[in-house]
A and B are shown apart, each in its own frame.
Chain A
Amino acid sequence: MTMSNSGSQSAAITPAGVDRPAAGPSATRSLEQADSAHLAAHVRKGRSTESARRTAAWLVGIASIDGRVVGALVLLLVVMFPFLWLVQLSLRPTNDIFGESLLFVPSLDSFRSLLQSHFAGSFVNSLIVSTASAGLSLLFGVPAAYALTRCRFRARGRIALWILVTRMAPPIAFTIPFYMAYRWSGLLDTNLGLIIVYLTFNLAIVIWLMQTYFAAIPQALEEAAYIDGCGVWSAFWRVTLPLTAPGLAATAVLCFVFSWNDFFYALILTRTNATTAPVAIVNFLQYEGWEWPKIAASGTLVMLPVVIFTILVRSYLVRGMTAGGIKD
């Protein structure tokens, strides 16, 4: 990459959403000016052109690396900004919540005060509901996905499509019927009620994702297992399922995250006993004032499992489990 290239790249990045010009690109530009001046001096003085060329190449290299790294960092900052802002907000002392200086003594006071509020209970509710709905979705969805992949019956395609359609409809379409049914059956404001609602959309995810994972397992492996002494069930349990383990984990995490992130159903279908963490955060917006420290701290806590699971899934998905068993 040439100097002018890297210059235009940083120039293109700078206006894209950062108010203050970042230190990086401007530094790069002044560096470039220094380069050319330096270079000109070299040439004027009539030193060995070879060494001048080498110096120039070295400086070009530095400049281009700088441009890319700076560009990447700026982009990262833009993307991460809301998250980082929230995290720093949660760590600020309560009396300096909107202070402008980044130099403050971090304190965990906001988190401590959360423990005394109703948020702790809501967080536990979220954990219970998300884990249970993810687990049950896998329990029902995985066998369904396997059957839809391996059994070639005529209505297969239509059934699979209708399962997907349930996921496509807007949640509001289901909310009123669910509300009425729950009020009648006493499931309103219970964890079980939310688990059942989340099952409806998580099942579709499990069935569709796991179908692709099962389809990727060669049928010859199951046939080999049949011949080695397996029945349909044991071949599935001992051969197919272990091979789809990474997909299974990824699907489970997705289900968990979808339930975890849900705000809409939880807002409508819970009141006091079964409120989940996202709903609890909104409850910090009260008539007497918005409790920013608690909002920031609870927001940070709610994001934590999602961040952890995303990192876990990423490393799982990279692994190629079926490598070597089948010659293509």
Chain B
Amino acid sequence: MPALSLRNIRKSFGSASILRDISLDIDEGEFIALVGPSGCGKSTLLRIIAGLEAEDSGDIDLAGRRINHAAPRDRDIAMVFQNYALYPHMTVAQNLGFSLKLAGHKPADISRRVKEAAQPLGLASLLDRHPRQLSGGQRQRVAMGRAIVRNPRAFLFDEPLSNLDAKLRVQMRTEIKALHQRLGTTTIYVTHDQVEAMTMADRIVVLKDGVVEQAGTPLALYDRPENAFVAGFVGSPAMNFIVGKLQINGQSRFVADDGTTLPLGPLPSALDGGSVLYGIRPEHFAIGGEQGVDSRVVVVEPTGSETHIAVRFADHDVIAAFRERIDARPGERLKLMPRQEYVHLFDAQSGMRLN
């Protein structure tokens, strides 16, 4: 039995349809990332799970209990808000202990559990401070502590790191993942940052316009995206797409709009002549070789660990990434060849995967 199960969730605000028929099963202890561009409905879905927003139709089951009409406080779910939402008039200890106090625990019990939750988060020395006396990272930890202290059935995170600077974000990312590994609580994590989703989640759910585009493990999404949207959304730098047609007569080939021809693995002959998007990730280019497509270097970006080269390839702007250091200069010409086993083909109209 799944820990949390969503079936046919729909939601609209006025005439705007935010969620269209979302179904999702989440296993006990799983870390799920809901990811998608802004306005895709991921935050709304999270708020529906929390009970802060009412779904128009559909079912939500938490541990086998239908919680559609349960008030937020009766759902046994904790949530970490994007803007922390700490109670400004309470100390850190009072913030952490608020839910326990409302649940009627004894003061001694509350104080013990608050200390237990504060210790691993490094908040033990800050318990008497008010939120305004804390740094951004500390506030974030208090918000997490407030969720942890209740020992709830599930954690919900609503873009918790988007207000932190880049360095702190990476640090907190690791802390949240470590926290999940320590507690093993079912977690739903909303983010628009696919890197966050990739690095933290057991399973990623990609949403767009209120529809689940694909759900799967980070590497499954990366290696076999089911459509062009997921392919372009997951991975950084993003996958390159080249517009063209398939030519299948004995041997499969891709012919770009400018006439550049690229070899493909075997494909069903029914696809012959179809308009397609030819997708290739930046790191899947081979450099040099007689077969390579003559490409002009536009910009070279050394990141240290990788070198990103923006080139003009088959009349498209394309990024190629190499682990080895490549001494290329803008204006030079390189022979580039996509590695055939890593090519993704998508239908140009529907965006669905073909190979």
Contact = CB atoms under 8 A, between A and B. Distances in A.
Q: Do A and B come from one complex?
A: yes
Contacts of A227: 50-52, 72-73, 77-79
A142 to B, nearest CB: 17
B71 A231 contact: yes
Interface in A83-101: none
Contacts of B150: 228
22 contacts: A223-B72, A223-B85, A224-B81, A224-B87, A226-B71, A227-B50, A227-B52, A227-B77, A227-B79, A228-B99, A228-B150, A229-B98, A230-B73, A239-B87, A243-B88, A322-B88, A323-B88, A325-B86, A326-B84, A327-B83, A327-B84, A327-B136
Interface in B23-63: 50-52
A325 to B, nearest CB: 3
B31 to A, nearest CB: 20
A218 interface: yes
B146 A323 contact: no
B134 A324 contact: yes
A41 interface: no
Nearest to A328: B83
A170 B289 CA distance: 92
B12 interface: no
Contacts of A325: 84-88, 131-132
A77 interface: no
B102 A228 contact: yes
Contact of A231 (B73, B98, B131): B73
Given A228-B73, A228-B99, A231-B73, A324 B132 contact: yes
B296 interface: no
A220 B83 contact: yes
Interface in A208-258: 218, 220-221, 223-231, 234, 239, 242-243
A223 B81 contact: yes
A324 B130 contact: yes
A228 B152 CA distance: 10
A324 B138 CA distance: 11
Contact of B102 (A223, A229, A242, A327): A229
A225 B130 CA distance: 17
B88 A220 contact: no
A324 B86 CA distance: 8
Given A228-B73, A228-B98, A327-B136, A218 B83 contact: yes
Interface of B: 50-52, 71-73, 77-79, 81, 83-89, 98-99, 102-103, 130-134, 136, 139, 146, 150, 163
Given A230-B102, A231-B73, A234-B102, A218 B85 contact: yes
Interface of A: 218, 220-221, 223-231, 234, 239, 242-243, 321-328
Contacts of B85: 218, 220-221, 223-224, 325-326
B134 A326 contact: no
Contacts of B132: 323-325
Contacts of B84: 325-327
A325 B83 CA distance: 8
A234 to B, nearest CB: 7
A25 B328 CA distance: 77
A274 B79 CA distance: 56
Contacts, number: 86
A220 B78 CA distance: 14
Contacts of B86: 224, 324-326
B89 A321 contact: yes
Those 10 A-B pairs whose CB atoms lie nearest each other, nearest first: A324-B132, A325-B88, A229-B102, A324-B131, A228-B99, A224-B85, A220-B85, A226-B72, A323-B132, A229-B73
Nearest to A324: B132
A234 B102 CA distance: 9
B81 to A, nearest CB: 5
A94 B77 CA distance: 75
Contacts of B134: 324
A223 B52 contact: yes
Contacts of B87: 221, 224-225, 239, 325
Which of B78, B87, B99, B131 has most chain A Cβ within 10 Å? B87
B167 to A, nearest CB: 17
A75 B105 CA distance: 60
A42 to B, nearest CB: 55
Contacts of B163: 327
Contact of A228 (B71, B130, B131, B146): B146
Given A226-B71, A228-B102, A324 B88 contact: yes
A213 B269 CA distance: 69
Contacts of B146: 224, 228
Contacts of B81: 220, 223-224
Contacts of A218: 83, 85
A146 B134 CA distance: 30
Which of A218, A321, A324 has most chain B Cβ within 10 Å? A324
A269 B58 CA distance: 62
A171 to B, nearest CB: 39
A229 B100 CA distance: 9
A223 B71 CA distance: 11
A327 B135 CA distance: 10
Contact of B133 (A226, A322, A324): A324
B89 A243 contact: yes
A227 B152 CA distance: 11
A229 B83 contact: no
Contacts of A323: 88, 132
Contacts of A322: 88
Which of A239, A323, A325 has most chain B Cβ within 10 Å? A325
Given A324-B131, A325-B87, 13 more contacts: A223-B50, A223-B52, A224-B81, A224-B146, A226-B71, A226-B73, A227-B51, A228-B146, A228-B150, A229-B103, A231-B73, A322-B88, A326-B86
A324 B50 CA distance: 24
Which of B88, B98, B102 has most chain A Cβ within 10 Å? B88
Nearest to A222: B85
Contacts of A242: 89
Contacts of B77: 227
A224 B146 CA distance: 10
Which of A229, A242, A243 has most chain B Cβ within 10 Å? A229
